[in-house]
Amino acid sequence: MNIIDRFFKYVSFDTQSDEDSLTLPSTAKQLALLDYLQDELKALGLTVTRSKCGYVYATLKANTDSKVRLAFLAHVDTSPAVSGASVKPQIIKYTGGDVLLNSAEKIYFSEKDFPEIKRYLGQDIIFTDGTTLLGADDKAGVAEIVSAVEFLLDNPTIPHPEIKLAFTSDEEVGRGTEDFDVKAFGADFAYTIDGGELGELNYENFNACSGNVVIKGISVHPGDAYGKMINAIDVFNEFHNMLPIDSRPNTTRDHEGFFMVESISGGIEELTAKYIIRDHNSQKFADKKAYFTKVADKINEKYGRTVVVATVKDSYYNMKNIIEKHYHLVDNAITAFKNCGVEPVILPIRGGTDGSHLSFAGLPTPNLSTGGHNFHGRFEYIPVQSMQKMTEVIVELARIYSK
Ligand SMILES: [Zn+2]
């Protein structure tokens, strides 16, 4: 099956995950695609197993003496942000300017809004009809991995180590590795194929924690409040304004970390505020957490009593600390891209990634591009040529690790 047919088949499944669900997978409909993948991989001749919640694991035996067990991972769910039902993918050769996606509803893809499209002049772009997301995140990753394995099976003279595949659910709702048993999976190294533009390589993500602030005020009738009232809302303002204004998500980029207030609830008597704190650098992350609690101490000192209690709880860590010990994963990905004529671009992830949890659980897992753009939206697209290139890159990585 060619990669376009394969990708179109995958996006015909509605696999939207659900952040409010308590089950795993969060939506049963994800299992339909996972079942399909199980059958497809078995038909290709791979050994397939399933995890308790339905992840599909598969193994392609080595055809060399290489002892490395190399894995490729992708997730089957799509973002809850935009519908992924009845996706109508279409291939349009990009010749410049805006692209009419849907004549009935007069929906255009705007070159001005998404100028990156100009890089793909003359290429065959897979768009939606402008009413749903496409699901290149991450079904393009799935299609590229399966196509690469099919290519290796069709070309047995290309050397490769033992290759493990894993297709998982619920990445988009932050539960993508909940059922992942790294030991049982039995791989030494892995790559997720879940990034954006062709050539992207990520091996750093944020260190992350949540911050919780509880403020206990003193409510007094406003007429008698002189010298007595402590308004928790005013105290919250003091607290928030003591955090650096140039360390917010909208004032930072690249490797700059931040504090972000996520929600506040309460009134004069009591107020709760929830924060997230992020930094790629471990020392700066520790400093930010210390600063966050020190601000509370300062305010308590001023009031002469405990008005504010600020606590932090770690969420996940920068996988760079693990990947650096296995830097061949980065070097070999760079070599594989270059050997396929793609200029690699190393970008820090300003968020988390499944690879972070896996890396800390013992499976070092950087992330590579899928080739897609505008994920989680109606204007998501992916050039066919980028998908074909990524398939080549995966084959090349297998060849590199066969030695
Ligand atoms: Zn993804």
For 366, counting Cβ atoms within 10 Å of its Cβ (0-12 exposed, 13-18 middle, 19+ buried), the class is buried
Cα separation, 295 vs 242, whole angstroms: 7
Which pLDDT belongs to residue 91? 98
If residue 8 lies in a helix (H) or strand (E), which one and from where to where? helix 3-11
Distance of CA 78 from the midpoint of ligand 1 (Å): 8
Per-residue model confidence as pLDDT tens digits over 117-146: 999 999 999 999 999 999 999 999 999 999
Phi, psi for 186 (deg, rounded to 5): 75, 35
Which pLDDT belongs to residue 269? 98
Identify whether residues 199 and 325 lie together within a single domain: yes
If residue 395 lies in a helix (H) or strand (E), which one and from where to where? helix 384-400
Distance of CA 350 from the midpoint of ligand 1 (Å): 14
Q: Which two tokens stand for residue 33?
A: 């695609």
Identify whether residues 82 and 178 lie together within a single domain: yes
Distance of CA 195 from the midpoint of ligand 1 (Å): 7
Distance of CA 124 from the midpoint of ligand 1 (Å): 22
Distance of CA 77 from the midpoint of ligand 1 (Å): 8
Cα separation, 147 vs 127, whole angstroms: 20
* 3 state SS of 402: coil
What average pLDDT does range 95-107 have in this prediction?
98
Identify whether residues 71 and 93 lie together within a single domain: yes
CB 64 within 8 A of CB 160: yes
SS3 content of the chain, % helix, strand, coil (to 5): 35, 25, 40
Alpha-carbon dihedral angle through residues 126, 349, 181, 55, given to the nearest 10 degrees:
-20
Q: For residue 133, is it left (φ>0), alpha (ψ between -120 and 50) or beta?
A: beta
> CATH code at 224?
3.30.70.360
Query: Strands, E, within 17-135: which ranges?
Result: 47-50, 56-60, 69-75, 90-93, 99-102, 107-109, 124-127
Per-residue model confidence as pLDDT tens digits over 266-309: 999 999 999 999 999 999 999 999 999 999 999 999 999 999 99
Cα separation, 189 vs 45, whole angstroms: 23
Identify whether residues 132 and 47 lie together within a single domain: yes
Question: Which of residues 259, 290, 315 is at a domain's end?
Answer: 315
First and final C-alpha spacing in the chain: 29
Distance of CA 394 from the midpoint of ligand 1 (Å): 17
Question: Which of residues 298, 315, 332 is at a domain's end?
Answer: 315
pLDDT above 90 (res 353)? no
Residues annotated as catalytic (active site), given as ranges? 77, 171
Distance of CA 171 from the midpoint of ligand 1 (Å): 7
Strand partners of residue 209: 277, 314
Helix 3-11 and helix 136-154: axis angle, to 10°?
140
pLDDT above 90 (res 351)? no
For 44, counting Cβ atoms within 10 Å of its Cβ (0-12 exposed, 13-18 middle, 19+ buried), the class is middle
Distance of CA 308 from the midpoint of ligand 1 (Å): 38
> Model confidence at 192, in pLDDT bands (50, 70, 90)?
very high
Identify whether residues 311 and 366 lie together within a single domain: no
Per-residue model confidence as pLDDT tens digits over 11-45: 999 999 999 999 999 999 999 999 999 999 999 99
Identify whether residues 156 and 53 lie together within a single domain: yes
DSSP secondary structure string for all residues of 128-190: --SSS---HHHHHHHHHHHHHHHHHHH-TTS---EEEEEEES-GGGT-TTTT--HHHHT-SEE
pLDDT above 90 (res 352)? no
Distance of CA 159 from the midpoint of ligand 1 (Å): 29
Identify whether residues 342 and 263 lie together within a single domain: no
Identify whether residues 257 and 273 lie together within a single domain: yes
Identify whether residues 324 and 232 lie together within a single domain: no
* 3 state SS of 79: coil
Distance of CA 390 from the midpoint of ligand 1 (Å): 15
Per-residue model confidence as pLDDT tens digits over 224-258: 999 999 999 999 999 999 999 999 999 999 999 99
Sign of the four-CA dihedral 219, 223, 228, 229: positive
Per-residue model confidence as pLDDT tens digits over 61-84: 999 999 999 999 999 999 999 999
Distance of CA 76 from the midpoint of ligand 1 (Å): 9
> CATH code at 327?
3.40.630.10
Identify whether residues 345 and 385 lie together within a single domain: yes
Query: Which domain does 363 fall in, by range?
Result: 3-204+319-400
* ∠ CA 33-36-39, rounded to 5°: 155
CB 205 within 8 A of CB 316: yes
Q: What percent of the chain has pLDDT over 90?
A: 99
Identify whether residues 268 and 169 lie together within a single domain: no
Identify whether residues 192 and 220 lie together within a single domain: no
CB 215 within 8 A of CB 308: yes
Question: Which of residues 266, 286, 315 is at a domain's end?
Answer: 315
Distance of CA 137 from the midpoint of ligand 1 (Å): 5
Number of domains making up the chain: 2
